[in-house]
Structure 1
Amino acid sequence: MSTETVEKFWNTTRRAIHNGRLVKLTLSKPRRKDPTTPRNLYARPVEVKREQQLQVVHRYPDREEAKNYAYEDGLAYLRAQLQETYYNGDLFSLDEQLSIMQSRKGNARITEQAPQHREAAVAHNREKYRDIPAGRPYLHALGITSEKGEVTGAGRRKFKQINKFVEIIDGLVKEHPLPAGAHVVDMGSGSGYLTFALYDHLANTLGLDVRVTGVELRPQLVEKCRKIAAENAFTQLNFEEGYIDSYRPERIDMLIALHACDTATDDALYQGIQAGAEIMIVAPCCQKQVRRDMQVPADLKPLLDHGILLERQAAMVTDGLRALYLQGAGYDTKLFEFIPLEHTAKNVMITAVRGKQRAGAQEQWKTLKQRFGVQRHYLEELLNS
């Protein structure tokens, strides 16, 4: 009877996978207390390099490790794990929910429930993004969590920012996949907490073939980040000392520049445009260049004679022009709030994915500059140099 029960469970699993109906499969309740054994295994279909694979996440108390398999290889691995390492298995598909429970004596029974997931399509790359686990060791090394893997009071804001950032990246790369061997560059990586989370999500959670480089001017931060990367065996994550405008890698497939001050954001965008980056993400700050070079029209003086309003207007014009320059260079752009204002006042994010050149973008930026008396914009000067 136990053999028939196990066969039913795996036949149903195989059918769900090959019919594109699998949402997830979990194995739990280890047979032995062993610190080297994951607490549970979590499997789901993913798309890697345009191939459908089964990703198995090994969940330890202090970390997670992901590995991708061809469907049948993944099934064989999970079946062996259920036979040798775990007592319980839970299958969630769009059509049914099956649970298998095995006893120490070798008996097995199955329970069936109505499916909880009724989406029109399988979860492959549509599963809701999950937060970066607080138990990741690099988060403790960066001062965001305690030794027990708990987010500290001082690290709460950064942890929220990390997960919002990675959620945005997750959506972008699923809608606009990166090429194999993609080079991701974080311009002005600073203390590196976003860079580490980005690499962890792309390489370990999504299983993508990428290498990530953080570029930072301060040598002490570069050395600290290199040390943490080595301690976590992040072999394709590197940090380079240098200026944004002088870093010249052979290729940039994704460019990131968060809170690069004033025209440093323009330097980063120019680098990405010149390299033909597939995706660019920037969160500008300290947009002072346009403000200095604005000549406020007479009819707007009653509004913009107030310094704080002029500052905000200049920042909006600066970023609006950046979006138009990107569209003129062949990118589809979006501007939105990055994280709520209570976490940072510098909360506007611009995303750009490579697409088609937008007709009329040049006329629009000329009109905008004229309306607000903008004499020059640094990014436009770089593009015309």
Structure 2
Amino acid sequence: MTAEPLTHFWNAARRATNTARLVKLTLSKPRRKDPELPRNLYARPVELKDGHILQVTHRYADREEAKNFPYEEGLKYLQQELETSFYNADLFSLDEQLSIMQSRKGNARLREQAPQHREAVVTHNREKFRAIAADRPYLHALGITTATGEVTAAGRRKYKQINRFVETVDGLVRDHPLPPGAHVVDMGSGSGYLTFALYDHLTNTLGLNVRVTGVELRTPLVEKCRQIATDNAFAHLHFEEGYIDSYRPEQLDMLIALHACDTATDDALYQGIQAGARILIVAPCCQKQVRRDMVVPPALKPLLDNGILLERQAAMLTDGLRALYLEGAGYATKLFEFIPLEHTAKNVMITAVRGHKPAGTQVQVDTLKATFGVQRHYLEELLARY
């Protein structure tokens, strides 16, 4: 292996770290494809009460794990990982941007670019996410735990889903803080187990001043949730009976719609966009509208003539177009696996944060629609009114 590029790279990394000029350092392109190994490493300087450390986040397919190191120890760890587990490395500092690209034959190539950052990212370490404790009384009232706070066999999947959902929201509101007195609306709140956990985490764990409203059409569920909220003294948690497309609060800062069927997800997204909500979170359910309109391209017929694959393609197309519409409305979007497939088939989540420059996505939308013969998308029709 050529030594000069690597020596130059790690000398620059140490120089940037020791002079507080480091922004971040990443390792990517794993040498082995193994789901049990991290897909990449992300290192950044972090300021703690007792000094500065290098925090290295290991990003796996289904989770992230962070480890803290003294600066020199952290750089040695990253250097060893590059030698044994990754091919590529990128260094971002206030003075330079360097990239290392290694071949499978052992050759290393160094690329230098102009720096893109104006200030180093040295922040206080984020408090570790705390899961919803199983002894919370409302979980028993909802049938997820026993009277002694033990998760029941039937409630395990829901309990895991609760904590995954709350963890997602936790990261969003820490990175994109809600204003004091923010109104959070859960469209189609159902039995309310996610709504209760969300309110508990936002108000009791994070100490935020928020109001949470669950909107649900079924009267018995609304009445039950109201009683549980009263029993738990959740003063700013309310449940309203109504339809997603007709509920219009005066203020809407975060909108949530999990497992809203077919175009009900689009109704919820439209409500959030129209109200200027800062954060949107949806996990779509059955997606029929686009599927009925799709025409399979001839080149893809050998693949999509199978019913199950066509159904999945229709779902991907529906959600992909939703993400493009959101970006066109000024939202930064992410699509990811919400919960492992063995727990629920409704496992794709879309998060969107407002405040970004609207993206020019119309060409991409038109191309996708033309490719699959789609004449209409319900969310696009709704946004045409906006």
Alignment of 1:128-207 (within 5 A): 128-207=128-207
Does residue 231 of structure 2 align to residue 275 of structure 1?
no
1:87 matched to which residue of 2? Answer: none
Cα deviation for residue 117 of structure 1 reads: 7.1
Deviations 1:192-219 (A, max 9, x none): 0000000000011101010000000000
Q: What do residues 210-250 of structure 1 show as CA deviations (whole Å, max 9, x unaligned)?
A: 00000000000000000000000000000000000010110
Q: Identify the residue that residue 366 of structure 1 maps to in structure 2.
A: 366
CA distance in 2, matches of 1:159, 1:186: 18
In structure 2, the residue matched to 1:94 is 50
Equivalent-residue separation in structure 2 for 1:171 and 1:359 (angstroms):
24
Q: Write out aligned runs for 1:100-119 (5 A).
A: none
Shift of 1:190: 0.2
Name the amino acid aligned to 2:256. Answer: I
Contact kept, 8 Å, 2:329 with 2:359, in 1: the verdict is no
- Cα deviation, residue 94, structure 1: 3.0
Partner residue of 2:251?
A: 251
Question: Structure 2 CA distance, aligned partners of 1:188 and 1:359?
Answer: 29
Question: CA contact under 8 A between 2:330 and 2:359: conserved in structure 1?
Answer: no
Q: Which amino acid aligns with 1:228?
A: I
Distance in 2 separating the partners of 1:222 and 1:303: 44
Aligned residue pairs, count:
273
Letter in 1 for 2:383: L
The residue that corresponds to 2:107 in the other structure is none
What letter matches 2:144 in structure 1? I
Match of 2:184, SS? Answer: strand
Moved more, 230-239 or 370-379: 370-379
Farther off after superposition, 359-368 or 282-291: 359-368
Write the distance in 2 (CA, Å) between the matches of 1:332 and 1:355.
8
Contact kept in structure 2, 1:94 and 1:118, CA below 8 Å: no
For 1:164, what is the secondary structure of its paired residue?
helix
| Structure 1 residue aligned with 2:338 | 338
Counterparts of 2:69 and 2:142 in 1: how far apart (Å)?
A: 40
Alignment of 1:56-67 (within 5 A): none
Specify the SS of the correspondent of 2:332: strand
Residue of structure 2 equivalent to 1:217: 217
Counterpart residue number, 1:70: none
SS in structure 2 of the partner of residue 191 of structure 1: coil
Going from structure 1 to structure 2, the CA distance change for 1:295 and 1:169 (only over 3 Å counts) comes to same
1:359 and 1:173 map into 2 onto residues whose CA distance is 23
Mapped partners of 2:290, 2:182: distance in 1: 34
User: RMSD over aligned Cα, in angstroms?
Assistant: 1.8
Contact 1:181/1:209 (<8 A) preserved: yes
**Identity of counterpart residues, as a percentage?**
78
**Take 1:153 and 1:367, find their aligned partners in 2: how far apart are those partners?**
47
Please name the residue that 2:260 is paired with.
260
C-alpha distance in 2 between matches for 1:285 and 1:332: 22
- Give distance in 1, aligned partners of 2:317 and 2:362: 15
> Is the 8 Å Cα contact of residues 142 and 193 (structure 1) preserved in structure 2?
yes
| Deviation, structure 1 residue 298 | 2.1
Residue 174 of structure 1 aligns with an amino acid whose one-letter code is R
Paired letter, 1:221: L
1:227 and 1:334 mapped to 2: Cα distance?
Answer: 35
CA distance in 1, matches of 2:361, 2:50: 45
Counterparts of 1:121 and 1:297, CA distance in 2: 50
Contact 2:186 2:256 in 1 (8 A): yes
| Conserved? CA contact 1:189–1:214, under 8 Å | yes
The residue identity in structure 1 corresponding to 2:271 is: Q
Instruction: Tell me if structure 2 keeps the 8 A contact 1:339–1:347.
Output: yes
Give me the whole-angstrom Cα distance separating, in 1, the residues matched to 2:184 and 2:206: 15
Cα displacement (A) at 1:93: 5.1
Which runs of no fewer than 5 residues in structure 1 stay unpaired? Answer: 1-91, 96-115
Calculate the TM-score normalised by the size of structure 1. 0.69
Could you tell me how far apart the structure 2 residues matched to 1:122 and 1:353 are?
Answer: 23
1:314 corresponds in structure 2 to 314
Q: Which amino acid aligns with 1:159?
A: Y
TM-score where L is the length of structure 2: 0.68
Q: Secondary structure at the match of 2:260?
A: strand
Structure 1: distance between partners of 2:143 and 2:350: 28
Displacement of 1:156 after TM fit?
0.7
Contact 1:93 1:117 in 2 (8 A): no
Helix, strand or coil for the counterpart of 1:246? coil
- Which has the larger Rg? 1
1:295–1:375: 8 Å Cα contact kept in structure 2? no
CA distance in 2, matches of 1:331, 1:122: 27
Give secondary structure in 1 for the equivalent of 2:179: coil
Match in the other structure for 1:349: 349
Per-residue CA deviation, residues 252-288 of structure 1 (Å, 9 max, x unaligned), is 1000000000000000000000000000000001011
**Distance across 2 between alignment mates of 1:208 and 1:271:** 24
Mind listing any 5+ residue stretches in structure 2 that lack a counterpart? Answer: 1-47, 52-66, 71-121
Is the contact between residue 94 and residue 117 of structure 1 (CA under 8 Å) also seen in structure 2? no
* 1:294 alignment counterpart: 294
Q: Secondary structure at the match of 2:340?
A: coil
Q: Distance in 1 between matches of 2:179 and 2:265?
A: 25
The separation in 2 between residues aligned to 1:371 and 1:358, in whole angstroms, is: 24
Residue 283 of structure 1 contacts residue 350 of structure 1 at CA under 8 Å; is this kept in 2? Answer: yes
